Structure 1
Amino acid sequence: MGVGGQQTEAAVVFSWEEVQKHCSRNDRWLVISRKVYNITQWAKRHPGGSHVIGHYAGEDATEAFTAFHPDQTFVQKFLKPLLIGELAATEPSQEGNKNAAIIQDFETLRTQVEKEGLFKAKPLFFCLHLSHILLLEALAWMMVWYWGTSWTLTLLCAVMLATSQAQAGWLQHDFGHLSVFKKSKWNHLVHKFVIGHLKGAAASWWNHLHYNHHAKPNVLSKDPDVNMSGIFVLGSVQPVEASSWKKICFKYFEKFVAAHKLSNTCPTITSTSTSFYDLAWYLSFYIRYFSCYVPLYGFFGSVALNLFVRFLESHWFVWVTQMNHLPMNIDHDKNRDWITMQLQATSNIEKSFFNDWFSGHLNFQIEHHLFPRMPRHNYHLVAPRVRALCDKHGISYQMKTLWQGMTDVVSSLKTSGDLWLDAYLHK
C-alpha cells in the first residue's frame, strides 16, 4: 500500500477504516481533498509544529488545511512526496459525517467571499491601529517625564500602557494569522516586531499555542486553552472525569484569572530555547522599556510598574478571549466537520464601535474561527451570510451582549465547579 511517506501510484486506494488505524504518534496518516498522506516523519518538520498537524491524524484535514495555508500551490510541493494514495470512490469525504450539505455550502461561501476580496486587507486600517498603539505609549511616557511620577499620574500611565499592550495583542494576532500582507514572510516579520518589540513576548510561543487552539477549539487534550486539568477544570465533561483523579477544582473566578494571567505574563520563560531570533526581539522590548522608565522610577519601580501593567492587561485579555469560548461546549474530540466544530466552540458579541475596539474585532469569534486568515475589518461583512447558512441547516449561531458574555464566563465556571464537587462527593 505504500508507507514511510513515499509516493505511490494513484491506483492505490484506502478505506476510512484503514486511514483511521494510523493515528498514533509514530504512525500518522491524514486526508486532504480525498488524497491520503503519510505525515509521520513530516510532522516533526512541520512549520506550524507537530501537534497542530498531528491533531488530524486518521481524519480529514481538508478544511483546516485550506483555512491555515494562504498559498496552497506552494504547500503542495511539500505534500507531493507524502502522497501514498487516495480514498476509494465508495468512501465518503469524511467518515461518519452526516453534514455533507453544510460542508458543501460552507465551501461555496468561502469561495464567494474570496472572489469578493474579503480576504484582502486594508493597509490604512492596520496603519492607524499601529499608530494609536505607538501614540499611547509615547503619551504615557511623556506625561510622567514632563509632569512627574505622582501616584495619580503613574496610575494613568499604567492604564495607558495597559491599553496599548492590549491593542498590540490584537494587532499581533492579525499578523500571526497571516491576514495583513499577501506574502507570509512579511506577516511573520511584522508579527515578530509587534509581539516581540512592542509586547515583550515570543512569536513562536504564540504560534504554537494559538494554532493548536484553532485546529481543535475546546477539544480536551488538543486545545491548550482548555487542557489545564492539572490546575483547574472546565466545561461539563472534564469536572466529572477529574473528580475520579481526586484533583483540586478551583471554583472561583479569581483563581481562573490568576492562572491565565500567569500564562499571559511569562512567555519569555517558556520559549527562550525555541528561537534566539525571538529572544532578540522581545529583549529589545525590555531594553527600550527600562531605558525609558528606570531614569524616572528606578529599577525596582520600573519592574513594579511593568508588573502592574501586565496585571491590568491580562485581565482585559482573559475576559475578551474567554467570553467567546468558555461557556461553549468543551468535550473530547468527536471528529466533527470544520464548521460544526468551530460553531460549537465559539459565540459572538454584538457589534458596536466600542466592542470592536475593545476586543480587537474578536467579538466576531465565529467568523474569525471559520475564516482565520480573513482581515478582521471584514468579519461584519461575512457575518450575516454565516448566520444565514446556520439558520438554513439548523445550527446554533450564538450572539450575546458584552455584559452577557462576561457573566456567562462566571456562571460556566460555577457550573463546572459544582459538577466537580458533586461528582467528587458521590464517588
Structure 2
Amino acid sequence: MEDPAEGSGSSLQLFTWEEIGLRTGQEHSQQERWLVINRKVYDISQFYWQHPGGARLINHYAGQDATDAFVAFHVNKILVRKYMNLLLIGELAPGQPSFEPCKNKLLVENFRELRATVKRMGLFNPSYLFFFLNFLQILMLEVATWFTLWYNGTAVISFLIATLLLTTAQVQGWWFQHDLGHLSVFSKSKWNHLCHEFVMCHLKGFSSSWWNRQHNQHHAKPNCFPKDTDILLHPSLFALGKTLSVELGMKKEKWMPYNHQHKYFIIIIMLLLPFFTLYSLYFVIQRKLWVELAWILTYFTRFFLTYEPLLGVNGVLGFFLLVRVLESTVFLWLSHTNHIPMHIDYDKNADWFSAQLQSTCNVNQSFFNSWFTGHLNFQIEHHLFPTMPRHNYWKVAPLVKSLCDKHGIKYQCKPLLTAFADVVHSLKESGELWHDAFLHKEAAASTGEISQQLPQRCNTAGKV
C-alpha cells in the first residue's frame, strides 16, 4: 500500500480515532473536516471544495479512514502526494489501529494484499487494441445507421433498424466513456480526461465533468443515502431499501405512490436521459465550462446535419427523442440491476471490501452479457478496482470469490433475466414496506427494519 504522505512521524501531532471522530462529528463544528490515509491525518476543511473529483466526494470520508478509497481512485499517487503534504496535520498515535477499531482488521489486510497481488499480475494495464476495437465498433454502428436510412429510405422497417443501430451505438458509447472516466483506457490520466471529454461531449452530448462528479460519489459510497447520487431519487420518486422505505412510511411521507413504484419504474427510466440531456447543458453553462459546451454543441450540430436531409426537421427531432428514450431504458435498466436489489441504507462506515460487496452483485459471465453490459456484469470487481480495465475483470473474479469464501461474505451472481426481475421484486417489496408503515405505524415497527436512533458509526465488521 503506497503511502501518499512523507515526513517524520516524530514531528507530527498525534491523534486518536475518538478525537478525529469528535472533531468531524455532526454534533460538533461543521467547519472542520479531517480524514485518515495510511495513518496520516489530513485537514481538508479548506481544500475539499477544490478537490478535482468534486467537493462532495472527498467530504463523504470526513472523519473516516479513506485509505482504500484513495488508492482505488487515484492512478498517479506521486502527483497527488505533493498536494496532500500541504494538508497533513498529524498521524495516529502509537497503539491506535491503522484503521478504525470497528472494522475487520484481517479482512482489510487481506483485501490490501489482494490488491497488491492484482497489481503485480499486471491487471491494471490496459489493452489498447481492446479499447480501439470498442471505439471502432461505436463508429461503425453510427455509420451503419446513416447508411441504412440513406440506402433503404425511411420506411418503417428501415427506420426501426436504424433506430436499433443508433441506440446500440449510444449504449456502447456509455460503456466506453465510463472506461475513460475511470482512467482505465490510457496509462496517463491526461489522455483519459481529454478522450473522455471528446466521447462524452461530442459522441454522447453530455457533460463529462457532470458525469465524473456524479459517478465518483456513487463509487465512494455505493447505496449509502444520501451520499450515493445514484439513489438520490429516493424519496422524490422511489422508496429504496427496507430501512429507508419503512422510515419514510413511519414519517408519513408520500412524495409518490411508492407501493406502485415497480410499475412506474420503467416510465421514469425512459425519461431520465432526456431530462439529463437538458440538465447537463444547464450544468456546463452554470459552471462556465465553455470547452465542454462547445463540444456538446458539435454533437447536436452533427446529429442534425447527418439526419435532417434524410428525415426532415420534424423527423430528426423525433428520431433523436426516440433513440434517447430507448438508450435511457437500456442503459439505466442495466446499470440498476447491480445495485437496487442490494442493501441500501445510511453510511455505516464499513470497510471498502464489505461496502462494495453488500451493495453490489454480478450477472453471469457470457460473451453476450459482457458485451451488452460493457463488462459491468462483473460489477463487484469493477467496484473493488474502479481503475482496472474492464477486459481484466474476469481474471480477478476468482481471487475476489476466494476472499469472500474465506471471510464468509456472500458473492452474489445471477442470470441476466433474474437480475432484471430482482429489480422489480425489490421495488415492489420496499414499496409494500413503505405502504404498511404509512398505514400502520405499529405494524411497521414490529418488522424491526428501522432503527429509532441515528445510524451506528460502524457495521458489524466483515458481514454483508
TM normalised by structure 1 equals 0.96
Partners of 2:361 and 2:117 in 1: how far apart? 23
Whether 1:411 and 2:425 are equivalent positions in the alignment is yes
CA contact (8 A) 2:223 2:343 kept: yes
Shift of 1:226: 1.1
Partners of 1:381 and 1:126 in 2: how far apart? 17
Q: How many residue pairs get matched?
A: 421
Shift of 1:311: 1.1
Q: Which residue of 1 aligns with 2:272?
A: 263
Shift of 1:17: 1.1
Whether 1:316 and 2:364 are equivalent positions in the alignment is no
3-state DSSP of counterpart to 1:30: strand
Partners of 1:121 and 1:140 in 2: how far apart? 30
Whether 1:196 and 2:198 are equivalent positions in the alignment is no
Q: Which residue of 1 aligns with 2:130?
A: 125
Whether 1:33 and 2:34 are equivalent positions in the alignment is no
Partners of 2:195 and 2:115 in 1: how far apart? 27
Q: Which residue of 2 aligns with 1:246?
A: 253
Higher deviation after alignment, 47-56 or 224-233: 224-233
Higher deviation after alignment, 109-118 or 213-222: 109-118
Q: After superposition, give the CA deviation of every residue in 1:140-184 in whole Å (9 maximum; x if it has no partner).
A: 111111221111111111110000000000000000000011110
Q: After superposition, give the CA deviation of every residue in 1:115-148 in whole Å (9 maximum; x if it has no partner).
A: 1110000001011111111001001111111221
Q: Which residue of 1 aligns with 2:143?
A: 138
CA contact (8 A) 2:148 2:161 kept: no
Partners of 2:200 and 2:263 in 1: how far apart? 26
> Which amino acid counterpart does residue 438 of structure 2 have in structure 1?
Y
Q: Aligned runs of 1:377-416 on 2, under 5 Å?
A: 377-416=391-430
Q: Which residue of 2 aligns with 1:3?
A: none
CA contact (8 A) 1:9 1:85 kept: no
> Which amino acid counterpart does residue 353 of structure 1 have in structure 2?
F
Partners of 1:331 and 1:325 in 2: how far apart? 12
CA contact (8 A) 2:103 2:351 kept: no
Q: Which residue of 2 aligns with 1:293?
A: 307
Q: Which residue of 2 aligns with 1:305?
A: 319
Higher deviation after alignment, 114-123 or 96-105: 96-105
Partners of 1:392 and 1:279 in 2: how far apart? 50
Gaps of 5+ in 1: 1-6
Counterpart among 353, 359, 369 of residue 339 in structure 1: 353
3-state DSSP of counterpart to 1:154: helix
Shift of 1:236: 0.5
Whether 1:154 and 2:159 are equivalent positions in the alignment is yes
Partners of 1:22 and 1:225 in 2: how far apart? 29
Whether 1:16 and 2:17 are equivalent positions in the alignment is yes
3-state DSSP of counterpart to 1:36: strand
Whether 1:224 and 2:229 are equivalent positions in the alignment is yes
Partners of 1:163 and 1:408 in 2: how far apart? 24
Q: 1:13 to 1:374 in 2, by over 3 A?
A: same
3-state DSSP of counterpart to 1:48: coil
3-state DSSP of counterpart to 2:124: coil
3-state DSSP of counterpart to 2:141: helix
CA contact (8 A) 2:272 2:328 kept: no
Partners of 2:73 and 2:396 in 1: how far apart? 18
Identity value in percent: 49
Shift of 1:373: 0.2
Q: Which residue of 1 aligns with 2:63?
A: 58
Q: After superposition, give the CA deviation of every residue in 1:363-422 in whole Å (9 maximum; x if it has no partner).
A: 000000000000000000000000001001111101111111111001000001100100
Q: 1:254 to 1:129 in 2, by over 3 A?
A: farther
Counterpart among 167, 181, 184 of residue 179 in structure 1: 184
3-state DSSP of counterpart to 1:309: helix
Partners of 1:12 and 1:318 in 2: how far apart? 47
CA contact (8 A) 1:249 1:420 kept: no
3-state DSSP of counterpart to 1:340: helix
Higher deviation after alignment, 274-283 or 162-171: 274-283
RMSD, matched Cα: 1.5
Q: Aligned runs of 1:39-50 on 2, under 5 Å?
A: 39-50=44-55
Shift of 1:8: 10
Counterpart among 373, 376, 386 of residue 390 in structure 2: 376
Shift of 1:258: 3.2
CA contact (8 A) 1:348 1:364 kept: yes
